[in-house]
A and B are shown apart, each in its own frame.
Chain A
Amino acid sequence: MTPPIPDEVVKLIDEVQYEEPAEFPVERGYVWNTCAAVENGNPLFWDDAVAAEITDGPITPPTLLSIWMRKHRWTPTRPSEGLALQVHFDMKQKLGLPEAIISENTIVFHDPVRIGDLISSCQRLRSVSEPKTTKLGTGRFWVIDVEYRNQHDALVGVESYTAFGYVKAGAE
Chain B
Amino acid sequence: MDIFLFEAAINGLLLAGVLALLTLGLNLIFGVIDVVWIAYADLVMCGMYAVYWLFAVFGWPLPLAFAVSVVGVAVLGVFVHLLIIAPILGSAPINQLLATGGLLYFLQSFATLLFTTDFRNIGVRLPVLEIGGIYISYSRLLAFGVALAGATALYLFLKRTYIGTAIRAIAQDREIIGLMGVDQRRIYLITSAIGGALAGLGACLLALQYDVHPFIGNTFGPLIFMVCVLGGLGNMIGGFIAAFIISQIIAIGGYYFSTELSYVLAFTLFIVLMFVRPQGIIGR
Asked if chains A and B come from one complex, the reply is no
Q: Which residues of B contact A (CB under 8 A)?
A: none
